[in-house]
């Protein structure tokens, strides 16, 4: 089963996470979700939340960038998903997906559970 790695090359944690996976022999399919051609849809974001155990999208929201993007603190899940799809900068990274599971790599060692 292949791994999909949601990656932002401009993020040092995301780069370190990819290096960690590769050092363990894992060669994931890398999706640079910040690129317009690889952005995540609302449906994909909902699927990630489901694969993380049915969490709220706030579990992988970059709170410090959310206000800058115009997302209200009390926004509901649907508004959060829409804001993430519109502005991928507010998605926390890295995220590793394997089959029916996904994990936020904060800290990056958490991703090894899906290795």
Q: What is the pLDDT of residues 64-77, one digit of tens each?
A: 899 888 899 999 99
Please list the active-site residues.
11
In 3-state terms, the chain is what percent helix, strand and coil (to 5)? 45, 15, 40
Would you say residue 112 has pLDDT above 80? yes
Cα separation values, 51 from 10, 24, 46, 55, Å: 25, 23, 9, 8
Q: What tens digit of pLDDT does each residue of 77-100 get?
A: 999 999 999 999 999 999 999 999
Q: Give the mean model confidence (pLDDT) for residues 4-32.
A: 96
Would you say residue 1 has pLDDT above 80? no
Tell me the C-alpha distance between 84 and 91, whole Å: 6
Tell me the C-alpha distance between 80 and 30, whole Å: 24
Confidence of residue 56 (pLDDT cuts 50, 70, 90): very high
pLDDT at site 115: 80
Strands 29-31 and 95-98, by their bridges, are unpaired
Question: Which H or E element spans position 81?
Answer: helix 77-86
């Amino acid at each position: 089963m292949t791994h999909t790695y949601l990656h932002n090359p401009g993020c040092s944690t995301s780069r370190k996470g990819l290096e960690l996976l590769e050092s363990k022999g894992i060669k994931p399919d890398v999706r640079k979700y910040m690129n317009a051609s690889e952005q995540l849809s609302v449906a994909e974001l909902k699927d990630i939340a489901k694969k993380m155990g049915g969490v709220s999208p706030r579990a992988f929201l970059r709170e410090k960038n959310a206000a800058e993007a115009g997302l209200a603190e009390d926004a509901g899940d649907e508004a959060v998903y829409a804001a993430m799809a519109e502005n991928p900068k507010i998605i926390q990274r890295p995220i590793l997906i394997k089959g029916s599971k996904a994990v936020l790599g904060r800290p990056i060692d958490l991703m090894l559970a899906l290795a």
